Amino acid sequence: MDETTTTKPASTFGGMPVAPYQQWARETLGYEFAHIEWLITALTHRSYVNEHKKSTTEHNERLEFLGDAVLELIVTDYLYKNFQEQEGVLTSWRAALVRTESIAEAGERLGYEPLIRMSKGEKAGGDRARQQIRANAFEAVLGSIYLEKGYDAASEYVHTYILSKLDTILAEGTWRDPKSHLQEVSQRVDGATPVYKVMDEVGPDHDKVFTLGAYVNGTLRGKGVGPSKQAAQQQAARAALKAYEQIDKRPKTE
C-alpha cells in the first residue's frame, strides 16, 4: 500500500513565525497566502535586512515597485471607465487618491504596521518617516496580492481602501491644488493674494517640522504643519479654504 507524504507549510520564514501574517491576511483580506513569503517580504523594510543579513536577504522595494504600477493601473482604469472629464482633471483626481498621505492612511486602517519588520532606529523614527514606511508597505502588499491572487483581488483591495475615498475627495475639493484654489478664493472675497509666513520650526535637520501661516491682508486665515515648508503651506492653504467656507455659511444680515 502506497503512503502519500504531505509537506506541512513552513512555520517560519526568514526567522519570523508566519502565523501572525496568515492571521492578518485571513482576518483582513479574507484568505491566506499560499506564498506567505511574498506578504512577509512586502512588510520588510530595507533597514531590517541590514540588521539581519544572516536570516533575511530581501526587502519590500521590488514589491513596492510592482504594487505602485498595479495601483496606478487600477485607479486609472476606474477613472477612465466611469468619468468623462478631461485628462488633466483625471490626473489630478488620481494624484489625490494615490498620494503618500492617502495610502499611508489606508495602511493605518489595514492595521499591518505592527507586522512591518524594520530596524530599531526606524521604529523610533518620527511620524513623517513612519508615514512613508506605511505608504510604501501598502504598495508592496498590493504587489504581493497581485502575485498571489491576480488582478481581480488586487482591484478589490484598491477599491476598498483607495477608490472608496473618491466621493469625499470630490465633495471636499481636496483634489485641487490648495494654494491655487486659495488664491482664487482670496482674490474673489478679499481682493488679495495669500502670503505664507513661517511661524515655527522644530526638530533636527533630518526630521524638521514646520508651522506656516496663510495670511490674507495681514489676517491669519489658516495654519499648517508639515515636514517641509511646501507641505506646511499646502496644509495652511487647506485650513484657510475651510475658514472661507465657514464665512460663506454665515447667515447673511439684511
What are the sequence ranges of the domains in the chain?
12-172, 178-249
Using 50, 70 and 90 to split pLDDT, how confident is the model at 159?
very high
Could you name the CATH architecture of 12-172?
Answer: Orthogonal Bundle (1.10)
DSSP-derived 3-state class of residue 219: strand
- pLDDT score for 6: 40
DSSP-derived 3-state class of residue 16: strand
Q: Which of 64, 105, 139, 148 is catalytic?
A: 139
CA 242 from centroid of its chain's CA atoms? 22
Cα dihedral 203, 204, 207, 210, rounded to 10, equals 40
Tell me, which fold does domain 178-249 have in CATH? Double Stranded RNA Binding Domain (3.30.160)
**Which residue in this structure is represented by grid cell 506605511?**
134
Report the C-alpha gap between 22 and 44 in whole angstroms.
15
Residue 68 bears catalytic tag: yes
**What's the mean pLDDT in 72-95?**
95
**What's the mean pLDDT in 225-246?**
89
User: pLDDT of 94-153, one tens digit each?
Assistant: 999 999 889 999 999 999 999 999 988 888 777 778 889 999 999 999 999 999 999 999
Q: Which of 68, 105, 152, 172 is catalytic?
A: 68
**98 Ramachandran zone, left/alpha/beta (phi>0; psi -120 to 50):** alpha
Are 223 and 212 spatial neighbours (Cβ–Cβ below 8 Å)?
Answer: yes
Angle 11-104-246 (CA atoms, 0-180°, nearest 5)?
A: 150
- Residue 1, pLDDT above cutoff 60: no
Give the predicted TM-score (pTM) of the model.
0.76
Residues ≥6 apart with Cβ < 8 Å to 61: 46, 136, 140
User: In 3D, which of 69, 157, 57, 31 has the Cα closest to residue 117?
Assistant: 57
Report the C-alpha gap between 101 and 114 in whole angstroms.
19
Report the C-alpha gap between 75 and 79 in whole angstroms.
6
Using 50, 70 and 90 to split pLDDT, how confident is the model at 156?
very high
Report the C-alpha gap between 228 and 15 in whole angstroms.
38
User: pLDDT of 10-62, one tens digit each?
Assistant: 687 766 788 999 999 999 999 999 999 999 999 999 999 988 888 888 999 99
Report the C-alpha gap between 12 and 156 in whole angstroms.
28
Tell me the three cell numbers of residue 107: 495602511
Report the C-alpha gap between 40 and 36 in whole angstroms.
6
- pLDDT score for 130: 87
Residue 139 bears catalytic tag: yes
